[in-house]
Structure 1
Amino acid sequence: MTLTPYRETLALRGIPSLLIVATLARIPITAGTVVLTLHVTQDLHLGYGAAGLVGAAFTIGGSLGAPVLGRITDRKGLRPVLVLTTAAEVTFWTAAQSLPYWALLVAALIGGFLTLPAFSVARQSIAALAPESHRLPAFALDSITTELSFMAGPALGVLISTTAGARVAMFTVGAGILASGIGLYLLNPPIRGEDEAPISAGERVPRSAWLRPRLIAVLATSSAATLVLSGTDVAVVAVLQHSGEVEWTGAVLAMWAAYSLLGGFAYGTVKRGLSPLLLLAPMALLTIPVGLGGSHWWLLGFLLLPAGALCAPTITATADAVSRLTPAAARGEAMGWHNSSLTVGVALGAPLAGMVMDATSPAWGFAAVGGVGLAVALLVLPAELRRRGAEPEEAAEGVPARTGEGVWDRGEAGPAVEFPRQDDTPVPTR
């Protein structure tokens, strides 16, 4: 394994600072859901069902808001969106501490809609900063740092809530988001490449020109991937609780996260990325037998290795595919749809696994989410086969077959939209 792709990517102007600021900005965001849950159960003295509704409202709001905020970013620039979302989030986390439950439920929906778009902005900026030849390792680094944020954020949220109280944790989340918004505002990462039309040019691309079956298939793949991940998360806890080894849950989940990090790091070194479908299908398939192989914590951790190693590569591949299938003028909205698809998968995976495990046994939770992931892979397979079938025809006609080689995807119909080639662009350094 060569580290050259990562060295060259980190030498790109703006990439290291973007990754650092985005990673720190994501930590308070990832802590938000668990802090809300603990606030409802500890401070409002309600059950986990009520807490789940608040979390669901926040998640639904975020899923609806991400594409809208991305579209505004495409048209007005990044800083107005950062000011709006930072102010809204600070207001929410400050006011939510004193709201009654039903008001909190409505506020969570609005607060989720106006969530600081740290995830999609980072991916949009990577697509603007990195030439085609370095996007894969750049997105791999983004996936790795996102994994680290999800490891740190909820843990810190639980720590503060259980030591200082959930209300203090809510104030801390609000303060963290304020600092994150200011940091992103000052950094102001570019959302258009140097060779792409600036926002001031007023370029508009109809949604029908890029939101086509191939991109929809990638978004479906993204949702299926995170559905498998969130369902696996819950199934691990259930299996270990059933076997009386719940104290090893943290160790098993840490092993699973380590597999994902290593897999994402390895994937970023390959010269040419794989289709997200070719990563989702084996990940889902290898998840199915995990719970059926044994309930001892060390065996469960071992069986998670193959599927776990494909987690980060699958998410990386979907982000890379979205960037290649979308023109710069619509990249923010497209990354918003990508973020929404990831969020929807997370929201569906846990309840799906939970319902199946309640009706059968904990081991079948893995089979349920893995089976759904595999079913989605089969559903989007026709779009992948059409793409592969079109490549020889395009090559024979002298048309670049892949996005990033002179065109952004022209879809199954409609004209190709040209932009300057980036593959041979010298890599700018500091």
Structure 2
Amino acid sequence: MGRVGFSGYAQLWADRKVRALFVAAFFARIPALAAPLVLTLYVVDELGGDYKQAGVIAAATTIGAGIGSPWRGRLIDRLGIRRAIVPSIVMIGLLYPLATIATYAWLVPISVLMGLFLIPIFSIVRLSLSVMVEERQRRTAFSADSIVAEASFIIGPAVGALLVTQVSAAAALYAIGACEVVAGVIFLVLDPPTRSVTAAPATEETAPAPASTSFVSAPLVFLFLLSGGAMAALFGTDLGVVAELRELDEVGSVAIAYGAWGLSSLVGGLVYGSLTRSVRPTFLLLALGVATIPVGLAGGVVSLSLLVIPAGLLCAPTMTAAAEWIAKLVPEERRGEAMGWQGTAYTIGGAASSPVIGAGIDGVGAWGGFVIGGSIATAIAVVVLIAQMVPRWRPTPEMATIEGVSR
């Protein structure tokens, strides 16, 4: 995999524009990462629902995001970030307050709209980084973004749980909506580049029609499948941790379990970004799926926090590797749309797996979430690995690895 070094992170941090993007992404992701936990607790605690119903809400949100991601990515490609996210800022400011007064039946379509107009932070940051740094630095840049995301993840759910337990889930939803609006305004002001200097985004009036040729290829489809599998593993852990803590009557300890999970992912991303060669996303997802299954053996807060660490170490590398290879495979003028389709793959993976995971938790207990989520991820990785053995779909020599910055 090449030698390990960390100087690339210092080089990135020295760039003022890249540094500003990371800081904005950190604050913008906190409310977005708190939302799934808060919605789950809102359905289970305040609406009197079960985990299957909470899984349906998660699925509704992800379906909306799955529809919206490619559309918003294409708008970013054509119009730039500012004009693409204004509708999100307006709608998010309306939808979260509505959620606090809605019945469960109305919460389902509201959740779809929340996903549809979700501010595409992931796509914006990865797309901007892909043109702000050289190709040889992308692994380090994407890993740094994963580290920033994990730092947000450590804070977001913990703050969300604190608001729910100390105030109410409704108050937490109001706070999330307000913070997401502020996040949108931050990106509106920052307006990070999405095209290189030689290919700046054109205005709507002067933009040429998108090329009719498709950027889709078998390797790209495999990457989308792997992205969906990664989300199944993450949803299994996410819902499983909440369910396990509720069974233990230790919901207030969510910061400990989520902190261990997020911190280990942060460390994994830091190490992966320091490598000089890539690891195939197929292998990373296989390891992630296998590592997720045993978390169901946890019997207390301490054991739960320890068992999520191996899976956590693989979260950021798996998602970073997939984004890195997509940026390599897709031309710059279609990269925003491709990143949007990756977002759709994430959301489809979550939408398809979350009700099954929720039903498993309701049926057998919290351990079912980890087993089901990990098994889905493992199965997808095995299928893709077998498919990649077919000669016509086998990675070409130049795509077998992606070289990184020299240390």
TM-score by shorter chain over 0.5:
yes
Distance in 1 between residues matched to 2:300 and 2:64, nearest whole Å:
39
Shift of 1:98: 4.1
| Unaligned residue ranges in structure 1 (runs of 5+) | 393-399, 406-421, 425-430
Change (3 A) 1:106 1:348: closer
What does residue 344 of structure 1 align with? 348
Residues 167-214 of structure 1 deviation map (CA, whole Å, 9 limit, x = unaligned): 4333322321221111101100000122446435526233x5312211
What does residue 232 of structure 2 align with? 227
Distance in 1 between residues matched to 2:5 and 2:139, nearest whole Å:
14
Distance in 1 between residues matched to 2:368 and 2:21, nearest whole Å:
41
Q: Which moved more, 1:24-33 or 1:332-341?
A: 24-33
Q: What percentage of residue pairs aligned between the two structures are identical? A: 35
Higher relative contact order (CA 8 A, sep 6+): 2
What does residue 381 of structure 2 align with? 377
Distance in 1 between residues matched to 2:92 and 2:8, nearest whole Å:
37
User: What's the Cα RMSD here?
Assistant: 3.2
What does residue 263 of structure 2 align with? 258
Shift of 1:330: 1.2
Letter in 2 for 1:212: S
1:27 aligns with 2:36: no
Greater helix percent: which structure?
A: 2
Shift of 1:63: 1.6
Change (3 A) 1:11 1:235: same
What does residue 15 of structure 1 align with? 18
3-state DSSP of counterpart to 1:209: coil
Task: Work out whether residues 325 and 403 of structure 1, in 8 Å CA contact, stay in contact via their aligned partners in 2.
Answer: no
1:190 aligns with 2:196: no
Letter in 1 for 2:233: V
Task: Work out whether residues 160 and 172 of structure 2, in 8 Å CA contact, stay in contact via their aligned partners in 1.
Answer: yes
Q: Which moved more, 1:351-360 or 1:83-92?
A: 351-360
Change (3 A) 1:302 1:175: closer
What does residue 312 of structure 2 align with? 308
Task: Work out whether residues 229 and 349 of structure 1, in 8 Å CA contact, stay in contact via their aligned partners in 2.
Answer: no
Letter in 2 for 1:332: G
1:325 aligns with 2:329: yes
1:90 aligns with 2:56: no
Shift of 1:123: 1.0
How many residue pairs get aligned? The number is: 398
Change (3 A) 1:370 1:387: farther
What does residue 49 of structure 2 align with? 47
What does residue 204 of structure 1 align with? 210
Distance in 1 between residues matched to 2:117 and 2:208, nearest whole Å:
25
Q: Which moved more, 1:51-60 or 1:67-76?
A: 51-60
Shift of 1:4: 0.4
Distance in 2 between residues matched to 1:390 and 1:96, nearest whole Å:
46
> TM-score w.r.t. structure 1 length?
0.81
Task: Work out whether residues 29 and 177 of structure 1, in 8 Å CA contact, stay in contact via their aligned partners in 2.
Answer: yes
Change (3 A) 1:236 1:57: closer
Change (3 A) 1:131 1:47: same
Q: Which moved more, 1:73-82 or 1:196-205?
A: 196-205
Distance in 2 between residues matched to 1:263 and 1:232, nearest whole Å:
17
Distance in 2 between residues matched to 1:179 and 1:363, nearest whole Å:
37
Change (3 A) 1:167 1:288: closer
